[in-house]
A = this chain, B = another copy of it.
Amino acid sequence: MAARERLLVIGGDAAGMSAASQARRLRGPDELEIVAVERGHHASYSACGIPYFVGGVVDELDALVARTPAEFRERGIELRLRTEAVEIDTRGGRVRMRSLDGGGERWEPYDQLMIATGADPARPDLPGADAKGVHGVQTLDDGVAIRRAVEEGSPRRAVVVGGGYIGLEMAEAMVMRGLEVSLVDFADQPMRTLDPDMGAIVAEAMRGIGVRLHLGEPVEGFDTSPDGHVTAVRTRDGALPADLVVLGLGVRPATGLAEDAGIETGPTGGIVTDRRMRTRAERVWAAGDCVETRHLVSGAPVAIALGTHANKQGRVAGINIGGGYATFPGVVGTAVSKICRVEVARTGLNEAEAAAAGFETLSVAVESTTRAGYIPGAVAMTTKLIAERRSGRLLGAQIVGEENAAKRVDGLAIALWNGMTVEEMTGLDLGYAPPFAPVWDPVLVAARKAADAVERDMRSAS
């Protein structure tokens, strides 16, 4: 038997703990010691669930925690909370650890190192950004702080900065808490991962639930009271009074530790790995929000912070660390979200992304209902497909609609994954019954229209 190895895991959330669990599954405690460190108070939690905890949809914080340190211990994984990795020495095979609760620092050796440091929220470098009452939404601790502010601070007006998924979900949470909510973004639409026409539908839905949208308004700073609490968000066009500010400005791969150790990062800022999640440094692996991966449609590297990728990549890394074989193939950019009744989904490239990748495209949008029109509960949905000129290959899809609309994007993501053309898609055998779809499924109608557009374009170009 080989000597017992030691796996250190930096970061105790989805990617890190998935890797630890898989490595443990394949190699018992006699073969592999596993130590994971996490600088926060919680590990293995659903960050995606934070808006639902803040909004009160989820009562207990514990519901968002998949596994406790005690549960990991039972599986032979030592998980140290409030412990920060401050330096990696790849040549020496060791990591300097600091206890955040007063302990000192020490070097911990590793045979295999898993970097799962996640992402840092973008914080604007603006006056007042560090004021009391200005909250990020990244960790469970952030979620606890916002919920406490809502429940104990009796705020009346909330301003959400940033119109991406998190911004919108947090705006909804604030509406559910009875606050007056404004959302401000420098862009002209919420959800910039959608095309403007689809973003407009989302904007309308946001207004419908009472959110005041301030679009195309760059934030210039935060006004504060003498005691240092935020009082307003200052934009180019004026001041939005605020008792509470939530920053949903997106995230950046948290790679400082890796970069300091000379581990290669790519053009997106994420750590570069191969398909087995190996970094360019020996015996060092990485997964989750801190890495970049391949977009299977554009072919370009992308850094997309999503729990589902983190879990999958962590699992792949753990299997490989455990002596198995697994690869992470890349992503097609699928994402879904829900703002009150309105569901939003996208996959592949939007028009701007496709253009940036050098594609010329044709788009169609189809309005339909989610069920046969004569079945009660049939609600509106819009399905948009983006196809490449000439080849007719599907490049992207977006759905905005009410109940049961968003998850239909999965079929489109799988079509994309397989490089289907919109013409091929017109023949797809999708589930039909009146409670689930009109007899011509919206996906089929959109595929037909897109195929027609490709054909017309070829005729007019010839």
- A positions within 8 Å CB-CB of B: 14, 46, 48-49, 52, 57-58, 63-64, 165, 296, 306-309, 311-312, 327-338, 343, 345, 347, 372-376, 404, 406-411, 413-415, 417-418, 420, 424, 426-437, 439-441, 443-444
Given A63-B374, A408-B407, A436-B338, A345-B431 contact (CB < 8 Å): yes
A345: chain B residues within 8 A (beta carbon): 431
For A57, A343, A430, A433, the residue with the greatest tally of chain B CB atoms inside 10 Å of its CB is: A433
A154–B405 Cα distance when bound, in Å, is 40
A333–B430 Cα distance when bound, in Å, is 9
A63: chain B residues within 8 A (beta carbon): 373-374
A332: chain B residues within 8 A (beta carbon): 429
A48-B372, A48-B433, A338-B433 known; 5 new pairs, CB 8 Å cut-off, are A306-B432, A329-B424, A338-B436, A409-B431, A413-B429
A151–B430 Cα distance when bound, in Å, is 35
A335: chain B residues within 8 A (beta carbon): 431-433
Report yes or no: B14 in contact with A439, Cβ–Cβ below 8 A: yes
Report yes or no: A432 in contact with B48, Cβ–Cβ below 8 A: yes
A63–B409 Cα distance when bound, in Å, is 29
A343–B374 Cα distance when bound, in Å, is 19
Report yes or no: A435 in contact with B308, Cβ–Cβ below 8 A: no
A411: chain B residues within 8 A (beta carbon): 410-411, 413-414
A371–B64 Cα distance when bound, in Å, is 13
Report yes or no: A334 in contact with B430, Cβ–Cβ below 8 A: yes
Report yes or no: B432 in contact with A307, Cβ–Cβ below 8 A: yes
A57–B377 Cα distance when bound, in Å, is 11
What is the distance, in angstroms, from A219's C-beta to the closest C-beta of chain B?
26
What is the distance, in angstroms, from A44's C-beta to the closest C-beta of chain B?
11
